A and B are shown apart, each in its own frame.
Chain A
């Protein structure tokens, strides 16, 4: 990792920390910032796969969905203690990633994309048919998670900084993984699988591990999304959502997790800002993305690197 990349990430984190105090402190602004950070976390976890491992997953929204529905299931059984719910949700997402990844990672290229899509769709249809949790109508959470019995997370600022803290943690974890020996093997396998094998590494184990870790972080993002919106619906697992996550990662650039973070924030904020201008904001957003692809090779991160 280059020092500039870390600097960029730290600047973004600082901006997010300061934002509530410079005009973005109201409830709806905090909700928007929370969405940005949550999708940033999910995008960072996806970038571990896409950027680090060359594994393009079109089913990552399912990881978020599994985490969110774990919150729902426990809430339905009246368990709202964060120290129980969060590890359970992460474990559920990791398990889902492990089972599906074990099969998916046997394939590569566009086949991998389609298999991850398939698993995502299966998760989507399963949650849609769970009448117990509202099915397609969704499930309303009347309270956010309690931390040791305390309702502190109900407070906007407390929740904001909790999300930010976890986001920084996710970024640091992914960055550390990519810098480590594990990450180097993963990236070597991405660049040239034959060569990696020739040196004696078996990519499958490394990839599966990365997939499970990414799934776990995605599950955590799902828990936060459930708490931010205080509402969970199968729509969170739709393939269009997985597509959005992928586009965020691509837009941000694959140079590192800071790219995915920028891509996610850009996506969320541009959508908000453009939607205020006109009902037909997609007529602008679509060509904007095309423009970015043409002139910003390497995404936003690539732009900053050269500049």
Chain B
């Protein structure tokens, strides 16, 4: 028997066989497809959840609120960044509202919390941001896809970029939590120079003056940092104010369109890494960015782009199965085919159902209309597979 995650085997087998036995001959096409969209709407990181939600809603609007020709009802679920609350709400969505898909999740710990309830209910979970390594390797799951990336990958892009640029001494700084530690590991996986110091700051830190003084005293060739949300806003502004901008600022998720409005000029010229940027020049991206800004009046970030892609992904998949969602194996194959035009250009899924995609080095620039965005500088990694894919032993049939 193929490798199975302990505890899931028996329940999954029973549930799917029951489903096959009870498959109705004629699918009720009139009933709408229900999608549970899990996005944080509370607390300081709510801006990211808003981006995620708006990207999905725009996709829905462009598709006339349909997936594969069937009407869609989106239920927005606020996970409040509390894992037990997320579990309760997602369970309600699965059992009471009978959602057909669960899409979303900004943060990895929330994703980890809802992974079991969703997949054990034989429902597909599409992550449009969180991409923890846990589920990329041995924890991979046939019901789980991501349209984003594996967290480690993005950080390794910056490491590669630093290596390519010839930096020898880099100062590294991230928040003191799992994702922060993963960021450091990811950066180091491709950067071969010296890390002059590795600093972990509290998640609630407001004032970086102590760390900035350290950076100045060590005089590194560059700094690498991962400071999401408000942390990034504070760091970037204080970095510039301290006169350190001549030391190249390499980052991930620190200077993105969610934080650029507050960072403004302070972030100009700083570097980032991602698989997508608003200035990518292909028809679907141009359409996405223009309509997004027209509808919501702010520049989209990766959170929005990735959930927009998820909308188109599911649209193509549902169309492939002719609107019939009961055959889970067929649906899974349809999703895995990824037969849609992603805003980032070429897109396909790897064997572990994480994307295989290009990664770029980006730089912050000011647009002619005065707004700020990240723009592609050069491609760093091409068709990159995440480092965990080889460890995934996924069952071929659900």
A272 contacts across to B, CB distance below 8 A? 88
| B87/A142 in contact, CB under 8 A | no
| A136/B83 in contact, CB under 8 A | no
Nearest-neighbor residue (CB-CB) of A136 within chain B: B177
| A142/B177 in contact, CB under 8 A | no
CA distance A75 to B391 in the complex (A): 23
Known contacts A28-B91, A140-B116; decide if A231 and B181 are in contact (CB<8 Å): no
Q: B63 in the interface, Cβ–Cβ < 8 Å?
A: no
Known contacts A233-B109, A236-B84; decide if A28 and B178 are in contact (CB<8 Å): no
* A interface majority secondary structure: helix
Q: A275 in the interface, Cβ–Cβ < 8 Å?
A: yes
CA distance A140 to B179 in the complex (A): 16
Q: A85 in the interface, Cβ–Cβ < 8 Å?
A: no
| A137/B91 in contact, CB under 8 A | no
B170 to chain A, nearest CB (A): 22
Cβ contact of A279, chosen from B7, B41, B82, B116, cutoff 8 A = B41
| A128/B176 in contact, CB under 8 A | yes
CA distance A136 to B203 in the complex (A): 11
CA distance A26 to B89 in the complex (A): 13
Q: B78 in the interface, Cβ–Cβ < 8 Å?
A: yes
Give the tally of cross-chain contacts (CB within 8 A): 88
Q: What per-residue 1/0 map shows which CB atoms of B104-136 lie under 8 Å from chain A?
A: 000011001101100000000000000010100
Please give the number of chain A residues whose Cβ is less than 8 angstroms from any Cβ of chain B in the complex.
Answer: 29
Q: What per-residue 1/0 map shows which CB atoms of A217-228 lie under 8 Å from chain B?
A: 000000001001
Known contacts A129-B176, A136-B177; decide if A231 and B78 are in contact (CB<8 Å): no
Cβ contact of B7, chosen from A27, A28, A35, A143, cutoff 8 A = A143
Q: A209 in the interface, Cβ–Cβ < 8 Å?
A: no
A286 to chain B, nearest CB (A): 13
Interface with A: B92-100, B271-279, B382-390, which one? B92-100
A218 to chain B, nearest CB (A): 16
| A137/B95 in contact, CB under 8 A | no
Q: B81 in the interface, Cβ–Cβ < 8 Å?
A: yes
CA distance A195 to B346 in the complex (A): 79
CA distance A138 to B115 in the complex (A): 12
Question: Ordered nearest first, which 9 A-B pairs have the shortest CB separation?
Answer: A136-B177, A28-B91, A28-B92, A137-B178, A135-B178, A142-B7, A229-B84, A231-B113, A138-B109
Given contacts A31-B88, A129-B176, A138-B112, 11 further A-B contacts (CB under 8 A): A131-B178, A134-B178, A136-B177, A136-B203, A137-B178, A138-B109, A142-B7, A230-B87, A231-B112, A231-B113, A235-B109
A-B contact pairs, 19 of them (CB 8 A): A27-B95, A28-B91, A28-B93, A28-B94, A28-B95, A31-B88, A128-B177, A131-B178, A136-B177, A136-B203, A137-B108, A137-B112, A137-B132, A140-B112, A140-B113, A142-B7, A229-B113, A230-B87, A233-B109
Q: Which residues of A contact B (CB under 8 A)?
A: 26-29, 31-32, 35, 128-129, 131, 134-138, 140, 142-143, 225, 228-231, 233, 235-236, 272, 275, 279
Q: Which residues of B contact A (CB under 8 A)?
A: 5-8, 41, 76, 78, 81-84, 87-89, 91-96, 108-109, 112-113, 115-116, 132, 134, 176-179, 181, 203
